[in-house]
Amino acid sequence: MRKAALLLLFILTTESLLAQQSLVPSTPSTAPDYFCTWNIQGYVTSYTGSEAMRNAMDEENLFGSGAFQRWVRFFPEIRQDLLLVLDDSWDIPAVSNHKNNNQYIGTLELDVTRFPSFRGSPVERMRQLADSVERCGWRGLGLWVSAQKAEVLDSMNEDVFWTTRLRDAEAAHVCYWKVDWGRRDRDDTFRRMIAEKARQLAPNLILENAMKEHYATFSDAFRTYDVENIIAQPVTIERVCRLLSLKAEPPARGIINCEDEPYIAVGLGCAIGIMRHPFAGSLPNGRDDEAFPATIRDLKHRLDEVIRAVRWHRIAAPFGVDDDSHIDSIQLHDYWTYAEGESWVHHTPGEAVRAQAPARVSRRMSLPEVASSATDRPFVLASRYPNGATAVAAIGRTLDRSYVCRSVPVSIDIEKWSAPIGLFGSLGDITLRFAHLPNPKTLRVLAQDLKADRASDITSACHFRNNSLTVSEDIIRRIGLAAASYGDISDPGLVISIVQRK
């Protein structure tokens, strides 16, 4: 009797300890995910124009303690996973000091009028800034880079300029260049040159290109570019789909950055460029925030989904374009009728905008099966990552003046039963079909909110049948929102792991 009691105690203790283990590694991600400052530059200036937004890029806003400052303290849960990308205009003098500021766009040297505390040579100043950013907990420093050499440097040889600036970036420990617009932004020769030169001269620098889709084949990262948040999801999915037929040219990584759409990113193996920020509510001047309108998804009250997606990248890293995808022939159509102040793009109130994207998309696996043909069903995305992990994401719809998150049953094929599985969005019951599954009696199913640090045993709530496992919508919501922040309205995001009993 005593032996039986001790055995039972051992089993219960072992199971309790197992349930407390985290399915999310503590080691920070190495994915090229970042937070970009452009929208916070807009917020603090109430989006009163590009010059005002440029003026907001300075040392005081980054590190100061005033209202709407201290940007380096954003995202404390995942700062160690993220690069902090300083947007336009860290490298040009403050407007008050120069009448023609545009001639300085593209100097690529940290401006002393904006960052007076960092002194010495250009490399020394930048290294001090990079060190300060890392001391605040960020993985590293990134920079917005104009696709041009500054006009004030016209006398400097082009090759010498880019060679010098890339070597300086490497010496200063700059981790990322977000190469954007400029006089040469659609110059094929320039884009390839800067990508190849960066690999040669700054091997620790991740270089992101944009503009023309084929640039993704020779770049470390390629950005799908700016979108209006009202209609961003179908537009972003459609843009990613256009890239999936490409194939990266080694050693280029060819990773797609789908900007501030974290659940699209995890569903399609992309990197994340975060633009939303924790300063919720109206702009400082009292107007509605036109970049993140509360009338639809209210993204600034959806910070948890950013945390969940970034922490998924600790489990499975984004991967480059490889021409191994499936795209549904069925298109879903979204539309929105604008009211005043709902976008950074000017629209006349009452104007309608429409966008469409494939109903289902998958990478490195077959298309997910969706048990619904309703016109308001979600977009469903799925990817098998190079390490064997699988992610599936249900993406809501923009219909008329509503954001619709209908939950629908989904079935997907899983190659390796022991690999992690990520579930994101408002999924209904999901059936995971395996090529082979051990005797269910020998298995345990663990699940964890990706924002949490502790797993739960959900074995008794799962249904095994013929090499398949079904997880209910209730479990997805209960576990996937278990660590939700107060007032956050993000959709669920969880990781499931199937393990053998010991």
pLDDT in tens, 198-255: 999 999 999 999 999 999 999 999 999 999 999 999 999 999 999 999 999 999 999 9
Choose the weakest-confidence range: 7-21, 153-167, 207-221, 358-372.
7-21
pLDDT value for 97: 52
Distance, in Å, from the CA atom of 229 to the CA atom of 343, rounded to the nearest integer, reads: 7
pLDDT band for position 195 (50/70/90)? very high
Q: What is the mean pLDDT of residues 271-289?
A: 95
For residue 8, pLDDT beyond 50: no
pLDDT value for 218: 98
pLDDT band for position 341 (50/70/90)? confident
Residue 287, CA distances (Å) to 38, 282, 292, 294 in order = 18, 6, 12, 12
Nearest to 50 by CA among 97, 102, 112, 113: 102
Over residues 45-104, the pLDDT tens digits come to 999 998 899 999 999 999 999 999 999 999 999 999 999 999 999 999 987 555 567 899
For residue 3, pLDDT beyond 60: no
Over residues 388-398, the pLDDT tens digits come to 999 999 999 99
pLDDT value for 5: 42
Over residues 403-455, the pLDDT tens digits come to 999 999 999 999 999 999 999 999 999 999 999 999 999 999 999 999 999 99
pLDDT value for 101: 78
Nearest to 236 by CA among 210, 206, 258: 258
pTM of this structure? 0.94
Query: Going edge to edge, which strands form the sheet with 410-414?
Result: 369-370, 410-414, 430-434, 468-471, 463-464
Amino acid 151 reads: E
pLDDT band for position 132 (50/70/90)? very high
pLDDT value for 58: 97
Average pLDDT, the chain: 94
Structure tokens at 452: 């949490």
Check: CB of residue 443 under 8 Å from CB of residue 393.
Answer: no
pLDDT value for 94: 84
Nearest to 179 by CA among 151, 215, 153, 155: 215
Check: CB of residue 91 under 8 Å from CB of residue 107.
Answer: yes
Residue 406: strand pairing partners: none
pLDDT value for 502: 82
pLDDT band for position 7 (50/70/90)? very low
Structure tokens at 285: 């001047």
For residue 274, pLDDT beyond 50: yes
Q: List the chain domain ranges.
A: 34-315
pLDDT value for 161: 98
Over residues 347-383, the pLDDT tens digits come to 999 999 999 999 999 999 999 999 999 999 999 999 9
Strand, coil or helix: 471: strand
Q: What is the mean pLDDT of residues 310-338?
A: 97
pLDDT band for position 121 (50/70/90)? very high
Domain 34-315 sits in CATH at 3.20.20.70
pLDDT value for 14: 40
387 Cα distance to chain centroid: 19
pLDDT value for 102: 85
Residue-wise DSSP of 191-227: HHHHHHHHHHH-TT-EEEE-SSGGGGGGSSEEE----
Residue 130, CA distances (Å) to 137, 140, 289 in order = 11, 7, 30
Alpha helices in 21-108 (DSSP H): 38-44, 50-55, 59-63
